Amino acid sequence: MKIIVQKFGGTSVASDEARIAVKDKVQQAVRKGYSPVVVVSAMGRKGAPYATDTLIDTLKSVNLSVNVREMDMLMCCGEIISACVMAATLQKYGINAMALTGGQAGIITDSQFGAARIKNINVSNLMHLLESGIIPVVCGFQGVTENNFKFTTLGRGGSDTSAAALGAALKADFVEIYTDVEGIMTADPRLVKEANILQQISYAEVCQMAYNGAKVIHPRAVEIAMSSNIPMYVKSTFSDAPGTLITSESNGRRNGSEIAINESCVSGVAHLSDLAQFRIELNPADFAAGRNLFEDLADAGISVGSLNLSEKEAMFAVFSPDVEHTCKVLEETGFKYTCNTECAKVSVVGSAMRGVPGVMANFVSALASKNISILQTMDSDTTISAIIKEEHLVDAVTALHQAFKL
């Protein structure tokens, strides 16, 4: 049996027209000899009656400090509605389908409500349905605890994670992530009109792009696929474009044409906005100062990124909603600091940049050409990033996209 997993996002199941497009994708898979397992997100986005954010607002209107168990139970309702409606749509067109909750599909998690981790997947029920010619329509984003069968949710991007984990457990031939764009792009097309669709990209590159702000697919899903070496495709529900293949290696192809490695060793530009940068003075004679700083922040529940640490200074970034809390912790613990608000982070990502001289020079020159000051840089083998003022974000992303010939 050739099994594939097809995941459809909220916009793909939000209307009758969209659900018919989903039905067409499922039928195409069946005609090609595959046995599909369909995974769905909640219908629509915030404001839509059954969207997850709408359900959250409904519960918070009753009690702002609602119990996390009840919150997870409510959030699971969006996907349950979506799975039932999608299964009914398939049945309407003569396709034998059955809606399943995450638990009924065998997804067992820990009990960390709101951000549960998958511990195990028992695929026996899914295999029984597939062998009987029934297409399972599984609620993404959710599972159940092992002992007491409480509903849990997997956190943002959880439907992608569900699809990848089911693909790994079922030893699927591949996983398809359907959305409202035609693939992973070299930059956010809302910022760069010339952004192109990548034909193929590596797991590692996609993870880095996602962690640095690209929102097409959740990095946890890619990590699961990478650990099982299952190919993933990112495609549009609403077109027959081939999409982007995510696999073990990037082949440097964009829009079907070869790109020489010396012309562009970068696969894409990603960005994060709404950041604040902190600079902390450290005493060079106090060898534990840096450790104490980050322990204090961790104890306060503050997540920091974009880290630089030297004997005299520490630099990091937090999202703007955490600024006030961070300032309070630093003042209470006696650290002297400055805070740069209204910042953003721009990154270039590419596994081919490893060991290539001149990449940083090209990065800095691109930003300098637009008179953009760099407040801080960070780099790894596959990523170069800079903290800049947010007012320069569009110019920065565009300049990097052009400089690396994407």
Q: Which CATH number goes with the domain that contains 291?
A: 3.30.2130.10
Please identify, among 200, 227, 258, the residue that sits at the C-terminal boundary of a domain.
Answer: 258
Residue 155 covered by a domain:
yes
Residue 364 covered by a domain:
yes
Two structure tokens written together for 280 = 């902390």
Which pLDDT score is estimated for 251?
54
Based on the domain organization, do 248 and 280 belong to the same domain? no
Two structure tokens written together for 231 = 């190919």
Per the CB < 8 A criterion, the answer to whether 97 and 130 are in contact is no
Q: In the beta sheet, which residues pair with residue 145?
A: 109
Based on the domain organization, do 295 and 147 belong to the same domain? no
354 falls in which pLDDT band (50, 70, 90)? confident
Residue 263 covered by a domain:
no
Segments forming the whole domain that contains residue 107 = 2-258
Angstrom distances, CA of residue 241 to CA of 169, 203, 216, 336, 392: 28, 21, 16, 54, 33
56 falls in which pLDDT band (50, 70, 90)? confident
- Interior angle at CA 12, CA 102 and CA 114, nearest 5: 40
Torsion of CA 42, 43, 47, 49, to 10 degrees: -100
- Give the whole-angstrom CA distance, residue 160 versus residue 172: 15
The letter for the amino acid at 293 is L
Q: Kindly report the CATH number assigned to the domain that includes residue 7.
A: 3.40.1160.10
Torsion of CA 69, 71, 73, 75, to 10 degrees: -150
Give the least confident one: 262-271, 282-291, 295-304.
262-271
Based on the domain organization, do 249 and 349 belong to the same domain? no
Based on the domain organization, do 392 and 247 belong to the same domain? no
Two structure tokens written together for 271 = 């960005």
- The pTM of the full predicted model, rounded to 2 decimals, is 0.87
Q: Could you give phi then psi for residue 363, rounded to 5 degrees?
A: -60, -50
Q: Which residue has the tokens 């590596």?
A: 202
Based on the domain organization, do 310 and 237 belong to the same domain? no
Query: 106, 135, 114: which is closest to 67 by C-alpha?
Result: 114
Based on the domain organization, do 147 and 247 belong to the same domain? yes
Based on the domain organization, do 203 and 288 belong to the same domain? no
Per the CB < 8 A criterion, the answer to whether 343 and 275 are in contact is yes
Angstrom distances, CA of residue 42 to CA of 68, 84, 115, 211, 395: 19, 11, 17, 23, 35
Based on the domain organization, do 36 and 179 belong to the same domain? yes
Please identify, among 197, 228, 258, the residue that sits at the C-terminal boundary of a domain.
Answer: 258
Based on the domain organization, do 217 and 294 belong to the same domain? no
Residue 263 has pLDDT above 60, yes or no: no
Q: Could you give phi then psi for residue 315, rounded to 5 degrees?
A: -130, 140
Based on the domain organization, do 253 and 280 belong to the same domain? no
**Tens digits of residue pLDDT in 116-164:** 999 999 999 999 999 999 999 999 999 999 887 899 999 877 899 999 9
Based on the domain organization, do 239 and 342 belong to the same domain? no
- DSSP 8-class letter at 62: T
- Number of domains comprising the chain: 2
**Tens digits of residue pLDDT in 226-260:** 999 999 999 999 999 999 999 987 554 444 333 33
Please identify, among 191, 224, 258, the residue that sits at the C-terminal boundary of a domain.
Answer: 258
Based on the domain organization, do 180 and 42 belong to the same domain? yes
Per the CB < 8 A criterion, the answer to whether 95 and 26 are in contact is yes
